[in-house]
Amino acid sequence: MTTVYLFVRADKFDRPMNRFMKALDGAVQKDFPDTCVVAVWLTDDVAKTKELLPRVQQSVGYGATALTCYAGGAEGPKGWGVNADAHLTAVLANMGKVAATFGYRSLNETDVPAVRDAVKKMREAK
């Protein structure tokens, strides 16, 4: 199973990041239909985030991306390589092993090809 985890700093979620996520969602649906994308909001306010995520999904309409939040704080889970300075960290995992990570302080849809290419490379290495 191939999975792309997107660790999103809740306080940094904005339109350009959303455009990246929507474009990645479309690329995964088109090119890798059996790949999962899981967007994990890193937040100190879990209740507020749980209220926000259904509205984000309704507004954006991600097709291949599941939205959730991490209840352990904004720094993210230990051992996952989440970049503390990044607004979004993408972790690509294949067969339970991390294959690549990308940390972004600023991003938009033009950053998708690098992640898409890494997913392709990861899947070809099976």
Residues 64-80 have pLDDT tens digits of 999 999 988 778 888 88
| Percentage with pLDDT > 90 across the chain | 77
- How far apart CA 112 and CA 108 sit, in angstroms, is 8
As a whole number of angstroms, the distance between CA 106 and CA 19 comes to 12
Lowest-confidence pick of 20-24, 95-99, 112-116: 95-99
| Mean pLDDT taken over the chain | 93
54, amino acid identity: P
**% of the chain surpassing 70 pLDDT:** 99
* Residue 126 scores a pLDDT above 80: no
CATH T-level assignment (fold) for domain 2-124 = Glutaredoxin (3.40.30)
Strand 36-42: give its sheet, edge to edge: 65-70, 36-42, 2-9, 88-94, 97-104
pLDDT at position 108, please?
A: 96
